[in-house]
């Protein structure tokens, strides 16, 4: 394998990619799917975070709270009216300003504000509400560095259906660009004999496979990041999610290369992808219906990058919570390399025997 030749093939794939219907399908379909699913279930067009406020002591910070941008603020008379709405997720959060709040704030003493968040609210929504409330109180009182808001979760913990559908949309983006794109591209080059012509030049099979895998991993990672951005599912950890998506993209690209080298024709390829799709998408089913036994999807390789994406992007998990699964995903990627190389050598030998 020659790095210079590999790079030229990558540039060629990117330059000629837009001419391929499969390439354009990989670009536009994930976005279209996101708009369709999110439009129906509400995550893309979800209203602003809903904050209820009870002011028990006529606090001077209320004007700042009521004028918060990016939040739908509603004022209630008492906590008996506020808390049931937060618990039932009619509100994402409820802020209670107790009597003597301004005096306690000025003297840095106990008796601060308490913020109740719905157990069914998204991690990203909680971050936005806490940051906005803290900033508003601090700016109003002129002590932004010392404001403390006690956060209490109420109601049953749960994730809205729209958020549980995010892994499905991400997986769709990864599979089309990561798996289907290199498989279809390789098969097309085999059927049109352009791969034969390419291999009589100094280009080796390894250069071809690395170039196609690199383009597939790049496009699928970018489209998955776009999908997460459209669904506001970065959870404040875009770099971590990008790394996980890259691991998943490489894993699917390796499977795509094997399929593209193995399939006899397009019918065989499509039939195999449709038949094996259940194993690839199986973790998605268990995310949508969390009541199902969660040990079952652990027998599928895609679980080990899809579950970390869901836990980090939607549930707000940190790297320490998902590092084991990410390590297993990397191990699967490494384990697939000999299989890709074996099919590559077999294809190269078969083509050489026909010359």
Candidate from 94-103, 153-162, 259-268, 296-305 with smallest mean pLDDT: 153-162
Bridge partners (DSSP) of residue 75 are: 53
Question: Which residue in 215, 213, 216, 238 sits closest to 227, CA to CA?
Answer: 238
Question: What is the CATH number that goes with domain 50-158?
Answer: 3.40.1710.10
Question: What pLDDT is attached to residue 145?
Answer: 47
- As a whole number, mean pLDDT of residues 36-46 equals 59
Q: Quick: pLDDT tens for 80-123.
A: 888 888 888 788 888 988 888 777 777 665 557 788 888 777 66
Highest average pLDDT, of 1-10, 127-136, 157-166, 237-246, comes from 237-246
Cα of 112 vs its chain's centroid, Å: 36
Cβ contact 173:183 at 8 Å: no
pLDDT over threshold 80, residue 79: yes
* CA distances for 157 relative to 122, 123, 149, 150, angstroms: 10, 11, 21, 19
**Regarding predicted confidence, which is higher, 26 or 157?**
26
Q: Quick: pLDDT tens for 280-292.
A: 899 999 888 877 8
Question: What pLDDT is attached to residue 117?
Answer: 86
pLDDT over threshold 90, residue 204: no
C-beta pairs of 273-282 under 8 Å, 24+ apart in sequence = 273/179, 273/180, 273/183, 277/175, 280/171, 280/175, 280/179, 280/252, 281/168, 281/171, 281/175
CB contact set of 311 (below 8 Å; sequence gap of 6+)? 317, 321, 322
Specify whether the backbone of 236 is left (phi greater than 0), alpha (psi in -120 to 50) or beta. left
Question: What pLDDT is attached to residue 210?
Answer: 92
Helix 238-262 to helix 266-288 angle (10° resolution) is: 150
Give the separation between CA 312 and CA 24, rounded to whole angstroms: 29
Domain locations in the chain as residue ranges = 3-42+162-354, 50-158
pLDDT over threshold 60, residue 70: yes
Question: Which residue in 115, 119, 113 sits closest to 87, CA to CA?
Answer: 119
* CA distances for 102 relative to 44, 126, 158, angstroms: 38, 24, 35
Give the separation between CA 290 and CA 305, rounded to whole angstroms: 17
| Strands 114-118 and 93-97, bridge-based pairing | antiparallel
Is residue 227 classed exposed, middle or buried when 0-12, 13-18 and 19+ CB atoms within 10 A define those classes? Answer: buried
Question: What pLDDT is attached to residue 283?
Answer: 92
Give the separation between CA 37 and CA 52, rounded to whole angstroms: 29
Question: What pLDDT is attached to residue 119?
Answer: 75
């Amino acid at each position: 394998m020659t790095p210079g030749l590999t790079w030229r093939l990558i540039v060629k794939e990117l330059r000629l990619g837009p001419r391929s219907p499969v390439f354009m399908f990989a670009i536009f379909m994930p976005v279209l799917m996101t708009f369709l699913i999110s439009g129906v279930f509400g995550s893309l067009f979800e209203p602003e975070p809903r904050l209820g406020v009870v002011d028990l002591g006529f606090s001077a910070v209320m004007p700042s709270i009521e004028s918060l941008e990016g939040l739908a603020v509603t004022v209630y008379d008492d906590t008996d009216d506020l808390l049931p709405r937060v618990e039932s997720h009619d509100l994402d959060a409820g802020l209670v300003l107790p009597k003597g709040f301004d005096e306690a704030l000025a003297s840095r003493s106990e008796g601060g504000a308490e913020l109740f968040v719905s157990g069914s609210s998204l991690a990203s929504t909680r971050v936005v509400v806490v940051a906005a409330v803290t900033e508003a109180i601090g700016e109003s009182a002129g002590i932004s560095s010392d404001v403390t808001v006690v956060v209490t979760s109420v109601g049953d913990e749960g994730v809205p259906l729209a958020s549980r559908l995010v892994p499905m949309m991400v997986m769709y983006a990864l599979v089309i660009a990561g798996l289907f794109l290199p498989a279809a591209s390789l098969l097309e080059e085999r059927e049109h004999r352009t791969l034969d012509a390419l291999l009589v030049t100094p280009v080796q099979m390894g250069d071809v496979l690395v170039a196609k895998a690199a383009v597939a991993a790049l496009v699928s990672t970018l489209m998955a990041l776009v999908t997460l951005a459209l669904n506001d599912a970065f959870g404040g950890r875009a770099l971590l999610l990008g790394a996980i998506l890259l691991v998943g993209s490489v894993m699917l690209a390796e499977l795509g290369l094997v399929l593209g080298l193995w399939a006899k024709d397009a019918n065989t390829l499509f039939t195999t992808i449709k038949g094996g799709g259940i194993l690839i998408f199986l973790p998605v089913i268990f995310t949508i219906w969390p009541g199902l036994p969660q040990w079952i999807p652990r027998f599928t390789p895609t679980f080990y990058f899809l579950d970390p994406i869901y836990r980090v992007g939607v549930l707000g998990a940190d790297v320490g919570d998902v590092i084991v699964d990410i390590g297993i995903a990397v191990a699967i990627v490494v384990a697939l390399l000999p299989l890709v190389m074996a099919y590559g050598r077999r294809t190269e030998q078969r083509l050489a025997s026909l010359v």
